[in-house]
Chains A and B, each alone.
Chain A
Amino acid sequence: MGAQAVEAGLDPADALAAMTDAIRVIGEGFRVGDLFLPDLVGGADALTAATPIIEEEIQRIGAKTETMGVVVIGTVYGDIHTIGKTMVATLLQAEGFTVHDIGINVTADEFVAGVRKHKPDILAMSALMTMTAPEQRKVVESLQAEGLRDSVKIMVGGGAITQEFADSIGADGYNPTAPGAAKLARTLMGR
């Protein structure tokens, strides 16, 4: 889809905006119950495949784009649950964020490396299991140790997480649902 847009000579910034609009429509359809996870994930896959090609073209011609902010997202070490994290990543894209999904089973060091590399406005972490929730604390502590904690807002979620836990590790935000997490990200960006 990205290559087709470039080949067709579309303005890459317009193409990116159109894709974000499409994800927003899918996200809204999901929110109201007309669309389901296969639709959401299918849309996210299309966007993920097309974005690098479009972005390369944007850089080549020096066009300007707008983003709501940059997010690095992943599921913590010891935890391989991907669906909730993918839902949040997709809905963040629908909100206009640039999202770098660094996957599942992500160690504290890998989160720190992700923050260094992508310089995100927000770091989002998921943990579904009680046993893996403490990894979120470890990531926060690692960011503090590396002097990066103040450079990024941290939001946490997943089945094992509560507001109380989020507060205890010094997270900036928590929401128990994927649509709620996407709105939370906007709030953290002051929008």
Chain B
Amino acid sequence: MTLKGYTRNFPPLEILTEEQIEEIHSGTLRVLWTTGVRMEHKGALETLERNGCKVDYEEMRVRFPPGLVEESLRRCPSAFSVKTRDPSKSLMIGGNRLYVLPFPGQRTIDLETWEPRVPTRKDFYDGVKVLDALSSVHGLWSYTPYFAFEGVPPAMGLLESLAGKIRNSGKFYTEGYSKGSEQFSIRMAQAVDAELCVPCLLSPPLTYYGDAIEAALHGAEAGFPVRISEGAVYGGTAPATLAGALVSACANLIAPVVLLQVHRPGTRIFINDFTFPQNMKTGAPGFGNIALSLHAAAFNQIWRRYGVPTCNGAAIPASKRMDFQGGYERAISTTLFALSGANFILLHGGVAAELTHHPLQAILDDDIAGMVGRFLEGISVNEETLALDLIEEVGPVPGHFLSSPHTRKWWRDEQYLPQSADKLTYPEWLSSGKRGCLDYAQDRLDDILANHTPPPLTAGQESEIESILEEARKFYSGQGLITEDEMAVYRQGMKSPRYPYE
């Protein structure tokens, strides 16, 4: 069974003309052939050269012939399924299907001071539990809910993060890589009979370091899907103009598409538009800027033509609190991403750009995803929904529709009922103690933490996950990447009676 997500039942928003798409595409082909892309991976360079690319080994620069680029794009499946630990949560990625996923934070946030703090192991596992409980969260993105948690050496951060997601959720997983960690991640996913989406992360402009290529090849060789992600900021690591940034993004992202499709034809790929206008004051990515939505809309249109599913990587605001700015920036981004045909949107839980995540925000975002998802479903027009006989039956005033079986049957499907929004009448609001959406979201959070039970691992799966973690601990200690002091603190945390959950 496949997780339904949200289905867009009308044509996507298209902001480029055919001529504009052609100009961007031609520009992309030119950049790939004349400028080329630096790939710091000898094996990849050799593979690409054998398949017709021009390779400068000294500069590690590859130039891609246009025919090979177009053939490689044609080899990408335009829609594909991904297996998950809980079979009912498997995904069918592509087409007019939208899935919404959480956004990570380096830390959690204190709701009284709005200051970040390092999450504990319990914070991390509770955060995953909340994401597992929310029906609008269709999978778990890399580094979510937090980049790492207290007591874990940096070398083990990603693997402990994936272990937490595997233990507390059966939904789709994708996880980052560092110093070869993907080899352990792939085995952890295999241990629970799930597929892991392995990323290949660009270092813009036009550069892939060896570890990015290595991770992508490891993922493809395991038969897993790969996501290719751009992290450019236009004005900094891409041209400041949106058209130039689109050419740059497409050239950046197509390079590993070609590599993967010549290395292992038919590899399942989706493309993550994680690009931003540069904040010219701070140097940070311009989270929440409307130019980001313009870029994403055009990006979705171009890659729809290429037949490769897309992710729009950040519907997250720059706002440091759960406030008005946070609300409008994330709602506008999410809406425009969805209308323009994104297959994934990263939304839930992010506060203060990439700095923090909080489950309370994830619960608030559940309503944004639900509202936008309902909009995408569109309007069903048929004999029953047109209700002509009913209109005839009810007639003019004093007739009404409230008591009709048709109303009882349809109204819930036609509306979306937000779970945290304040929709009370004014007197009801007064008597509620003047409660608002944060209060209702807190009620939901308390309820989920008290009552939600993620699908458990079997004893054999748990033992296998812990055994792979232990192997990784020894491997990274042997590499000198975990100090004795770090390991002592780490092992102390494992003595908790509630390990690994607290």
Cα distance A93–B157 in the bound complex, in angstroms: 37
Residues 118-164 of A contacting B (Cβ, < 8 Å)? 130-131, 133-134, 159-160
**Distance in Å: Cβ of A24 to nearest Cβ of chain B:** 19
- Asked whether any CB of chain B lies closer than 8 Å to the CB of A37, the reply is yes
Which of A37, A80, A130, A159 is within 8 Å of B281, CB to CB? A37
- Are A36 and B281 closer than 8 Å at their CB atoms? yes
Q: Which residue of B lies closest to A137 (CB)?
A: B483
Residues 54-69 of A contacting B (Cβ, < 8 Å)? none
Q: How many A-B residue pairs have CB under 8 A?
A: 30
Q: A80-B203, A83-B236, A130-B106 are in contact. Are A37 and B154 (CB under 8 A)?
A: no
- Are A160 and B235 closer than 8 Å at their CB atoms? no
Q: A84-B283, A87-B283 are in contact. Are A130 and B147 (CB under 8 A)?
A: yes
- Are B178 and A37 closer than 8 Å at their CB atoms? no
- Asked whether any CB of chain B lies closer than 8 Å to the CB of A9, the reply is no
- Asked whether any CB of chain A lies closer than 8 Å to the CB of B148, the reply is yes
> Chain A residues with Cβ under 8 A from B281's Cβ?
33, 36-37
Q: Which residue of A lies closest to B486 (CB)?
A: A134
**Distance in Å: Cβ of A177 to nearest Cβ of chain B:** 9
- Asked whether any CB of chain B lies closer than 8 Å to the CB of A190, the reply is no
Cα distance A38–B278 in the bound complex, in angstroms: 10
Which of A80, A131, A178 is within 8 Å of B157, CB to CB? A131
- Asked whether any CB of chain A lies closer than 8 Å to the CB of B280, the reply is yes
Q: A130-B106, A130-B147 are in contact. Are A37 and B283 (CB under 8 A)?
A: yes
Which of B154, B278, B280 is within 8 Å of A130, CB to CB? B154
> Chain A residues with Cβ under 8 A from B283's Cβ?
37, 83-84, 87, 178
- Are B280 and A36 closer than 8 Å at their CB atoms? yes
Cα distance A25–B148 in the bound complex, in angstroms: 42
> Chain A residues with Cβ under 8 A from B178's Cβ?
131
Q: Which residue of A lies closest to B178 (CB)?
A: A131
Question: Can you sample 15 A-B contacts with CB below 8 Å?
Answer: A33-B281, A36-B280, A36-B281, A37-B235, A37-B283, A38-B280, A80-B203, A83-B236, A84-B283, A87-B283, A130-B154, A130-B157, A159-B106, A159-B355, A178-B283
Enumerate chain A interface residues (CB-CB to B < 8 A): 33, 36-38, 80, 83-84, 87, 130-131, 133-134, 159-160, 178
| New contact pairs (19) apart from A37-B236, A131-B178, CB-CB < 8 Å | A33-B281, A36-B280, A37-B235, A37-B283, A38-B280, A80-B203, A83-B236, A83-B283, A84-B283, A87-B283, A130-B106, A130-B147, A130-B148, A130-B154, A130-B157, A133-B154, A159-B106, A160-B106, A178-B283
